[in-house]
Every structure is written in C-alpha cells, then in structure tokens.
C-alpha cells in the first residue's frame, strides 16, 4: 500500500503569519490535498526567548483565514502529537540518551570565551571555515557552574545528498559543518535536532520549505543517517523578492509583510490563495485565475520555479478585483460593511445594497469603499474644482434641475432626460456629463452618473443644485 502523504508547516511562534510562511504553508497544503494526504501544523517553540504568547494562535488563525486550515494541529491532534515541540521534551530525551550512550554526541562545557579563543586561533592560521575544536569530546573538563550543551560528533568524510524537488541533486560534504549543537544549555533541543525527530515520528513524507534551510538539510540528513531513518523528500522554495529584486525581509517597507495586513486592507482569502500559489510555482499555462479546487487538482512537483519570485502588488490587486467582482450581492455586503464608518453606514443604510453594487467592479482593495461612498454621505463642495463653468454649462445644469423634478423618476426616464438635454444644448458625451457630474457630485470622477442620481433621489438633487448655485464657483 502506498504510504500516506503527510506534509507539515512548522513555524516558530514568533509572530504573525508572514507572506513567505504563508506561501510555504500553501505549497505543503496543496501537495497534501492533491495526494489525498494530511497537512499538519507543528509549532517549533524550542527557542524560548523568541516565542510570543499569541504566536501559535496567530499562525493558525492566518492559515484558517487563507482557507488552508491544517488537518492536524495542536487543536486537533492525532496519535503522533503533541504538536508543540515544547511538549515533546521527554520524547527527544530518549534519542539524546541514545546518542550520548553511543558516543555519537557529547556534552560540551566550553565557555563563550574559550570558543572565541579557539576560533581566533584558527583564523590566525588562515582557516576560513572555523569549527569547534572538539575539546570536550577528547578531554571534557566538567565545570559545575556551567550547564553544558550537547554536540553531535560529526564525521567529516561523509557526503550528504538529496534530490531536491525544486533544484535537483544537491550534495553537501559533512566536512562543511562542525559538531553542531543538538541541545542548548537551557536543556531545549535545537531546531535541527527536534525537526528531524519530529519529521520522522510524525511520518512526514515531504517537506516544502524556504531555501534558507538548505544548509540545515545537510545537518539533518546526517542525523537521519545516524538513526538509520529514511528522510522525507525535500523541496527548497526560492525566495520571494520585492519590486527591486531584493529578498523580502520583515523590515521591508515597500511590501506589507503579513497575511493579516491583507485581511485588513480588504483582500479576499481566495485572491491571496490564488496569487500566492503562483508565486514560485506555475501550472505552465497562461491562465492566472484558479479556484482552490482547480489548484489542488493541478498541483504537481514539476512546476516549481528555480528563479526567485517577485512579489507583484499590481497583480495581487488585479486578482483581488477579479474575486470581488464575482461576489454575490449578499457576500459583497458582508465583505465591505466592516470597512465603512458607522456614521456613514447609518446615512446610507436604505440604499446600501445599490451603493455597494455601484462600486463593486472598480474595487481592488475592500478598504477603498470607505472613501468612495463619501459621495453619498457628504454634501458636495465645489471649492477645489479646477473647472470654469461656461454660461452654457450653467444653463444646462439649471435646465436639468428644472426637468428632473417633473419626470418620472427612474433609470430610463433619467437617461431620456439626458438625451433630450444633449439635443437641446447640442452637446455630447463628456461635454454634457462633465458639468453635470461636477455640479452634482463635486467630483471629476465616479461611477455611473445616472445611478448616482437615482440613489440621491429628487430631493437631494434639488438641494445640491441649490447649493451649487449659491456657491461662488460658477461666477469665478
Ligand atoms: N521552524 C522552522 C522555520 O520556521 C521550520 C523550517 C522547516 O520547515 O523545517 O523556519
């Protein structure tokens, strides 16, 4: 029987879900789902100083928002849990004891100063790859006041290689690293150690993670060898860059870094899902829009890009606009209401559905609605307009105001009125619409003027036109 595919996203709980982390999680998710396997969230919280109280929750919430809730996590464990590394210390201990007993690992009491001194000595001899000098392996000097670390004894004649799913064969000699630490002086296992034990015990079949882990993979393979375990397959994803082709770093101010930022700005999870899936992976077609189900179906291991993937905000906005346009009126309302100020909501509540529909096609971020709807909540002003109304414009506006009162107030009739005015005043298109729009909304741009007029209603139009003629603008 084919072994079940199990993938995992294994963040440290140091903050919110980052774009890069989300993409890593997404590829793990897509592959697991494509293979009808399991997607797992494991929290790697052994670096006590860096842990944040809400870190694990932030990560899980981010995944849920994105629509990739794990099958297994600290909320929903299986027989291989717990899924917090800090709750697995007794499990690691067994393997540490084994390594110590078999002299495959040893305690190291060297102080920082001793380590520095040895490193300096090596540098002065021209050695570039500074390594631990194994003092405590050969001749441990136990110091009572020092809590030792545990180092792995690394033989330096081995070749560690794997067929990377993104980059093909990678080979790293064990001589390129030293007796690395597997347990820190606070008793916590290091990332490289706990990661191997867990991936093995949790029966992880495939690991998709960032390329910054390539050097760790070699160390981890050393451990797999020692324990005689089959390692999972590895895929090291290329970096994400900003528009200047620099690696996205958490301090980069040109790009919002966290999934939560996109939620707050009004991105739909479907859009972010679609966009991130194509960041470093491609279905090898021109198609840009895919549903989640389609992506799960077509996801395969041949589509990874070997070049860095550039984060293109314009494309994300375009994708988001596509998904916003697809929302049903009900979903649109649910999505947009949180972005609108309470007092504005009260003003427009009777026309809310129509107003939101009016802007639906143009929205690229949900939060844009906040300002757009102001044309329905704020009485227009004309003082900032850079337009000189001609005598003909003003006559046109007056005539419009007189006639709008007497027509049957509906879309068709308003349309007809505008046509009549166009004939009467011998003006077409922009020449007709521009002065009217400016007088009615105080704005150059906006959605369909007829729809705005319909939503305003006769009374408001009358008030506005009165206001307009009271204003000095038309005399300038
Ligand atoms: N905790 C590691 C990280 O956040 C996990 C890396 C891995 O996937 O092995 O980078």
pLDDT digits (tens, 9 = 90+) for 170-215: 999 999 999 999 999 999 999 999 999 999 999 999 999 999 999 9
Give, using CA atoms, the residue closest to atom 5 of ligand 1. Answer: 10
- Kindly report the CA angle at 296 between 293 and 302, in degrees rounded to 5? 145
Residue pLDDT, tens place only, 6-35 = 999 999 999 999 999 999 999 999 999 999
Q: Is the CB of 10 under 6 A from ligand 1?
A: yes
pLDDT of residue 435: 96
pLDDT of residue 475: 55
Q: Is the CB of 195 under 6 A from ligand 1?
A: yes
Tell which atom from ligand 1 comes closest to the C-alpha of 208. Answer: 8
Q: Is 405 annotated as a binding residue?
A: no
Residue pLDDT, tens place only, 140-159 = 888 888 999 999 999 999 99
Catalytic residue among 159, 250, 398, 416: 250
Entry pTM: 0.93
pLDDT band at 253 (very low <50, low <70, confident <90, very high): confident
Q: Is 76 annotated as a binding residue?
A: no
For domain 391-475, the CATH class is mainly alpha
Residue pLDDT, tens place only, 266-323 = 999 999 999 999 999 999 999 999 999 999 999 999 999 999 999 999 999 999 999 9
Ligand 1 mutation target, pool 7, 191, 210, 216, most atoms within 8 A of CB: 191
Q: Is the CB of 11 under 6 A from ligand 1?
A: yes
121 is catalytic: no
Q: Is 110 annotated as a binding residue?
A: yes
pLDDT band at 55 (very low <50, low <70, confident <90, very high): very high
DSSP 81-125: ---BGGG-HHHHHHHHHHHHHTTSEEEE---HHHHHHHHHHHHHT
Distance of alpha carbon 119 from its chain centroid, rounded?
41
All CATH 1.10.10.350 domain ranges of the chain, comma separated, are 391-475
Cβ(128)–Cβ(122) below 8 Å:
no
Cβ(276)–Cβ(248) below 8 Å:
no
Cβ(285)–Cβ(241) below 8 Å:
no
DSSP state, residue 272:
H
All CATH 3.40.50.620 domain ranges of the chain, comma separated, are 88-237
User: Is the four-CA dihedral 249, 250, 251, 255 of positive or negative sign?
Assistant: positive
d(CA 324, CA 364): 8
Residue pLDDT, tens place only, 208-220 = 999 999 999 999 9
Tokens representing 398? 């007056």
d(CA 71, CA 19): 21
Q: Is 471 annotated as a binding residue?
A: no
Q: What is the mean pLDDT of residues 434-448?
A: 93
Residue reference for tokens 């096609």:
361
pLDDT of residue 252: 80
Kindly state the percentage of the chain with pLDDT values over 70. Answer: 99
Ligand 1 mutation target, pool 12, 19, 22, most atoms within 8 A of CB: 12
Q: Is 250 annotated as a binding residue?
A: yes
Residue 243 has pLDDT above 90, yes or no: no
Q: Is the CB of 12 under 6 A from ligand 1?
A: yes
Cβ(180)–Cβ(192) below 8 Å:
yes
Give, using CA atoms, the residue closest to atom 6 of ligand 1. Answer: 10
d(CA 211, CA 356): 44
Beta bridge partners of 247: 241
For domain 88-237, the CATH class is alpha beta
- Ligand 1 center–CA 24 separation, angstroms: 10
Q: H helices of 266-351, where? A: 269-277, 292-298, 313-325, 329-336, 342-348
């Amino acid at each position: 029987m084919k072994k079940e595919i199990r993938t995992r996203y294994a963040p440290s709980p140091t903050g919110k879900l980052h774009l890069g982390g989300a993409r890593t999680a997404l590829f793990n998710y897509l592959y697991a789902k494509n293979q009808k396997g399991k997607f797992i969230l494991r929290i790697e919280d052994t670096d006590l100083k860096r842990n944040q109280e809400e870190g694990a929750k932030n990560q899980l919430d981010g995944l849920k928002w994105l629509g990739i809730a794990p099958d297994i996590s600290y909320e929903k464990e299986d027989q291989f849990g717990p899924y917090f590394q800090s709750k697995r210390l007794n499990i690691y201990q067994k393997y540490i004891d084994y390594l110590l007993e078999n002299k495959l690992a040893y305690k190291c009491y060297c102080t920082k100063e001793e380590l520095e001194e040895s490193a300096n000595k090596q540098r002065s001899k021209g050695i570039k790859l500074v390594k631990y000098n194994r003092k405590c392996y050969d001749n441990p000097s136990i110091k009572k006041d020092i809590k030792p670390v545990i180092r792995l004894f690394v033989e330096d004649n081995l070749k560690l290689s794997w067929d990377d799913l993104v980059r093909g064969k990678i080979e790293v000699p064990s001589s390129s690293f030293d007796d690395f630490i597997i347990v820190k002086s606070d008793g916590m296992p290091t990332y490289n150690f706990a990661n191997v034990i867990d991936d093995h015990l949790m029966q992880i079949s495939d690991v998709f993670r960032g390329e910054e882990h390539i050097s760790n993979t070699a160390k981890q393979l050393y451990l797999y060898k020692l324990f005689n375990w089959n390692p999972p397959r590895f895929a090291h994803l290329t970096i994400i860059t900003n528009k200047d082709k620099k690696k996205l770093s958490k301090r980069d101010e040109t790009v919002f870094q966290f999934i939560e930022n996109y939620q707050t700005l009004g991105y739909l999870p479907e859009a972010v899902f679609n966009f991130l899936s194509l960041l470093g992976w491609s279905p090898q077609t021109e198609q840009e829009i895919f549903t989640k189900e389609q992506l799960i179906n077509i996801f395969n291991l041949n589509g990874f890009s070997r070049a860095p993937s550039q984060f293109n905000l314009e494309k994300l906005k375009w994708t988001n606009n596509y998904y916003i346009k697809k929302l049903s009126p009900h979903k649109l309302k649910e999505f947009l209401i949180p972005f609108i100020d309470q007092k504005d909501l009260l003003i427009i509540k009777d026309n809310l559905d129509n107003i939101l529909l009016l802007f639906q096609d143009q929205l690229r971020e949900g939060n844009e609605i906040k300002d757009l709807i102001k044309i329905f909540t704020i009485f227009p002003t004309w003082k900032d307009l850079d337009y000189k109304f001609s005598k003909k414009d003003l006559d046109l506006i007056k005539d419009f105001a007189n006639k709008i009162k007497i027509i049957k107030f509906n879309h068709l009739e308003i349309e007809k009125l505008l046509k009549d005015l166009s004939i009467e005043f011998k003006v077409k298109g922009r020449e007709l619409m521009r002065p009217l729009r400016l007088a009615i909304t105080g704005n150059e741009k906006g959605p369909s003027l007829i729809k705005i007029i319909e939503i305003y209603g006769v009374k408001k139009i009358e008030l506005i036109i009165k206001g307009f003629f009271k204003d000095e603008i038309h005399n300038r």
